[in-house]
Structure 1
Amino acid sequence: MKRTRLRVLLATLVVLGASACGTGGDPSGDPDTDPSATAGGGSDEAAAASDGTEAASATPRLAVTHEGGVMVVDVTSGEVVAEEPLEGFVRVSPAGDGRHALVSTTGGWNVLDLGSWGHEHGDHAHHYTGEPRLTGALLEAVEPGHVVAHDGITTLFDDGTGTITVLDPEDLADGRPETASAAADEPHHGVAVQLRNRNLLMTVGDVESRSGVRLVSPSGSVLAETDECPGVHGEAFAEDVAVFGCEDGAVVVDGRDITKVSSPDAYGRIGNQAGSDVSPVLLGDYKTDPDAELERPTRISLVDTRDASLRLVDLGTSYSFRSLGRGADGEALVLGTDGAIHVIDPTTGDRTDRIDVVGRWREPLDWQQPRPALHVVGATAYVTEPRRDRVHVVDLDRGRVTSTLDLPHTPNEVVANAG
């Protein structure tokens, strides 16, 4: 039933102004080939049996980018189990199925199979391992930008063309994902989300400025819109409510209702966010100097979507755009330049814990340069330490580093799965 519902969503997107995309390609061949428009069939169990070996327990793995490519690291053994060379500046995002990652570089998003995954069966789970590798599928884009995995649907935004691409991440295991596309009015550094109710959320802007958010129906009708979000950037969900950052606060999108959340400063920018499925409060950054070459803020923002209120919390340390995360219980996590993960109660703003992880660091001026990055899966946090070519594994429940993995390259971005 899940895939049948998504097929309807994919067909719907064609009405929004673009045709279904994807042409035939060999998933085991060159990583610059296109994915096929033909969807794979069969159950998850059948797929697991055909391309994986059942494991006794979960095998969590990391996708770690570096100058020259991406590597897959086995968390338990610390072994680098795959090395994939790629040209250009390489970024990585979760694909949304717990198995694959989308690696953006010149030409679009490459599909990376981490080679470990699991299937839940009520009171137990089955875990599998396979060969970690680039599958050969490429989701083409002129300037691959934001990737949003939400509610079983993954939406990609091409900053260079304004094209919005939607896929079912479960299709990635077949190597031939069926995709559909829509388009923003103008190319811009934007983001979009295909919702389960068949509506499409997208940012509004052009190459010079961005102004707001629009909710569009399957027929292309504008259901709701706001132009009160200058410099709109990023998106995250607090439970099932979307929040977009603005240069003067944020906007909360709940169904067809859009509510402005104003910052206390004339310029109070929220540009990067971290949401939670179990918390109605969104964690965001907060900057107040529009003229800074690089502002190193010490305050974070907490947007409560229940009443559209904004709370600012001063951490006493700065952080970067790769510092935000959420714990399994919705706790707000911020990796500070003091080397610690600061654990914040999102409802009260109180700091409940501090976990020392890396040495003190300073954010580089160039945003593409490596700096410590935080990625969270359940109750486990992964923190890179580029200065020492390491990644640390942190048990959030116990509040301490449980292992440290040495890497052959200097890490930049990191994505983990649960295995």
Structure 2
Amino acid sequence: MTQLKRSARFAVGAGVAALLLTGCSTGSVADTADTAPTSTVAAADGPRVAVAYEGGVLIVDGETLEVVDDLPTEEFVRLNPAGDGRHAFVTTSEGFQLLDVREPELTDLVVEAAAAGHVVRHGGKTVLYDDATSDTTIFDTESLADVDGALPDAQIIEGVEAHHGVSVLLEDGTFVTTVGDASGRSGIRAVDADGTEIATSAECPGVHGEGTAQGEAVVFGCENGALVFDDGEITKLTSPDEFGRIGNAYVSENSPLVVMDYKDDPDMEGYLLTDIALVDTEAKTLEKVELPDGVSYTFRGVTRVESGDAALIGSDGKLHVIDPATGAITASHDAIDAWEGPSEWQQPHPAIAALGDVVYVTDSANSTIVALDAATGEVLATGELPEVPNEIAVVG
């Protein structure tokens, strides 16, 4: 496989390296909203959905939900849109492998990583994080749209202490990354484009996930709340429970309101959750909201739609539309059959992704996929899949 040229590697500078040496850390797919397509050809072809299954990735037409191609890969992979309207990154044992959904083709282009982790898209940058080294690889997103046999040049910011983490690069060059080591993760650190420390916090045990809201306010989950990096400062928001773990942020870059997952029982078995957290990055508040009886979800089951609302696929099989200001369910639409939560997070269970106000939901028990209009609940298309779906990523 063709791997990213190491000549594209840049040190963060002595100042940043020294800062990171004193640091701590974070972690999974929080997923931030995809950036607008930059490839005219890709946009004209319409949306496509990549669907991971055990041993491969299906490419599905986003309008008809017909299977376009079936690409073999490793037994378990994860999917993240690259943000360019054409590609997704498939995390494998080799690293971040570039998937072209237009050809379609699982290319030989790989960003080498011993433990490929988070992919963040923001401000025209696509940011990859290697948990095995804590190195961060940064591409100009639009440069990925027209790759021809080789990956574009990338900036690589070397990490210091390996941990399950995540990084984001803001439009002014501010670099925000998690801090930790093999023994645990404790917070975040921000440095400016010159490598000067702006802010740091060690008040985020188990820091995990990232989301960038309106005005480039960046939110990270903690085992006891959340951190908000905004305008050069870090604010700690404390959970209402002694243990109130937040691991994923569901954001709209057009709203200061963030919906996050929430777990208040450290001994809970399984992965079904019954509460959400609402963070207001302007007011700097965090509120826990209990979902109605019978409504539960997993980390794969929440997204944001174009209207700014959150969409959640509940274990009752309904697509619930949630007001991010109040946490109230404003509409519930029939989507798939009721389902039970997995005993391990890697196991197939319903997943959700959105493009505009169109929401795609997989039904692992029946190997199907459905597309709905989140505003009206209209079923736009349904499709049968030849394999049991796991994770999905919509590109368009």
1:218 is aligned, of 184, 188, 193, to: 193
Q: Say whether the 8 Å CA contact 1:341–1:354 is kept in structure 2.
A: yes
Q: Secondary structure at the match of 2:164?
A: coil
1:351 matches 2:329 = yes
Per-residue Cα deviation, 1:106-125 (whole angstroms, up to 9, x for no partner)? 1101111111xxxxxxxxxx
1:75 is aligned, of 58, 62, 77, to: 62
- Name the residue aligned to 1:300: 276
TM-score (normalised: structure 1)? 0.82
Q: Say whether the 8 Å CA contact 1:345–1:352 is kept in structure 2.
A: yes
- Name the residue aligned to 2:129: 157
Number of aligned pairs?
362
- Looking at structure 2, the residues matched to 138 and 11 of structure 1 have their Cα atoms a distance apart, in angstroms, of 15
1:390 is aligned, of 365, 368, 388, to: 368
Q: Say whether the 8 Å CA contact 2:297–2:315 is kept in structure 1.
A: yes
- Looking at structure 2, the residues matched to 262 and 67 of structure 1 have their Cα atoms a distance apart, in angstroms, of 39
- Shift, 1:207, TM fit: 1.6
Q: Secondary structure at the match of 1:387?
A: coil
Q: Secondary structure at the match of 1:322?
A: helix
> Could you say which structure has the greater relative contact order, defined with CA pairs below 8 angstroms and 6 or more residues apart?
2
Per-residue Cα deviation, 1:159-185 (whole angstroms, up to 9, x for no partner)? 111111111122222242211211333
Per-residue Cα deviation, 1:64-118 (whole angstroms, up to 9, x for no partner)? 1111111211123333222221124111001011211001111101111111xxx
TM-score (normalised: structure 2)? 0.87
Q: Secondary structure at the match of 1:171?
A: helix
1:141 is aligned, of 113, 122, 139, to: 113
Gaps of 5+ in 2: 1-7, 18-37
Q: Say whether the 8 Å CA contact 2:186–2:203 is kept in structure 1.
A: yes
Mark the CA change 1:322 to 1:295 in structure 2 (over 3 Å): closer, same or farther. Answer: closer
Q: Say whether the 8 Å CA contact 2:60–2:68 is kept in structure 1.
A: yes
Q: Say whether the 8 Å CA contact 1:277–1:330 is kept in structure 2.
A: no
Instruction: Name the Cα RMSD after superposition.
Output: 2.0
- Looking at structure 2, the residues matched to 135 and 170 of structure 1 have their Cα atoms a distance apart, in angstroms, of 18
Q: Say whether the 8 Å CA contact 2:129–2:135 is kept in structure 1.
A: yes
- Looking at structure 2, the residues matched to 13 and 73 of structure 1 have their Cα atoms a distance apart, in angstroms, of 40
1:187 matches 2:162 = yes
Q: Secondary structure at the match of 1:347?
A: coil
* Structural mapping, 1:9-408, within 5 Å: 14-15=12-13, 16=16, 58-115=45-102, 131-172=103-144, 173-175=146-148, 176-239=151-214, 240-316=216-292, 317-408=295-386
- Looking at structure 1, the residues matched to 323 and 46 of structure 2 have their Cα atoms a distance apart, in angstroms, of 30
Mark the CA change 1:185 to 1:13 in structure 2 (over 3 Å): closer, same or farther. Answer: closer
- Shift, 1:12, TM fit: 7.2
Mark the CA change 1:12 to 1:107 in structure 2 (over 3 Å): closer, same or farther. Answer: closer
Per-residue Cα deviation, 1:328-382 (whole angstroms, up to 9, x for no partner)? 1211222111111211111122221111211111111111111000101111000
Q: Secondary structure at the match of 1:170?
A: helix
- Looking at structure 1, the residues matched to 65 and 222 of structure 2 have their Cα atoms a distance apart, in angstroms, of 40
Q: More displaced, 281-290 or 348-357? A: 348-357
- Looking at structure 1, the residues matched to 130 and 164 of structure 2 have their Cα atoms a distance apart, in angstroms, of 8
Per-residue Cα deviation, 1:182-225 (whole angstroms, up to 9, x for no partner)? 13331111000122211211000112210001002233332100
Q: Secondary structure at the match of 2:143?
A: helix
User: How much identity, in percent, do the aligned residues show?
Assistant: 45
- Looking at structure 1, the residues matched to 301 and 245 of structure 2 have their Cα atoms a distance apart, in angstroms, of 16
- Shift, 1:13, TM fit: 5.8
- Shift, 1:266, TM fit: 0.6
Mark the CA change 1:246 to 1:170 in structure 2 (over 3 Å): closer, same or farther. Answer: same
Mark the CA change 1:338 to 1:222 in structure 2 (over 3 Å): closer, same or farther. Answer: same
Q: Secondary structure at the match of 1:362?
A: coil
- Looking at structure 1, the residues matched to 191 and 206 of structure 2 have their Cα atoms a distance apart, in angstroms, of 20
Q: Secondary structure at the match of 1:145?
A: strand
- Amino acid across the alignment from 1:329: S
- Amino acid across the alignment from 2:121: A
- Name the residue aligned to 2:31: none
Q: Say whether the 8 Å CA contact 1:289–1:295 is kept in structure 2.
A: no
- Looking at structure 1, the residues matched to 195 and 324 of structure 2 have their Cα atoms a distance apart, in angstroms, of 36
Per-residue Cα deviation, 1:144-163 (whole angstroms, up to 9, x for no partner)? 00000111101111111111
Per-residue Cα deviation, 1:297-351 (whole angstroms, up to 9, x for no partner)? 2111110111111122222221101011111121122211111121111112222
Mark the CA change 1:99 to 1:295 in structure 2 (over 3 Å): closer, same or farther. Answer: closer
Gaps of 5+ in 1: 1-9, 18-43, 116-130
Per-residue Cα deviation, 1:41-68 (whole angstroms, up to 9, x for no partner)? xxx78xx6xxx6x99x552111111111
Q: Secondary structure at the match of 1:384?
A: strand
Per-residue Cα deviation, 1:273-319 (whole angstroms, up to 9, x for no partner)? 10002211100011011223435321111101111111222222211
Q: Say whether the 8 Å CA contact 1:301–1:311 is kept in structure 2.
A: yes
Q: Secondary structure at the match of 2:298?
A: strand
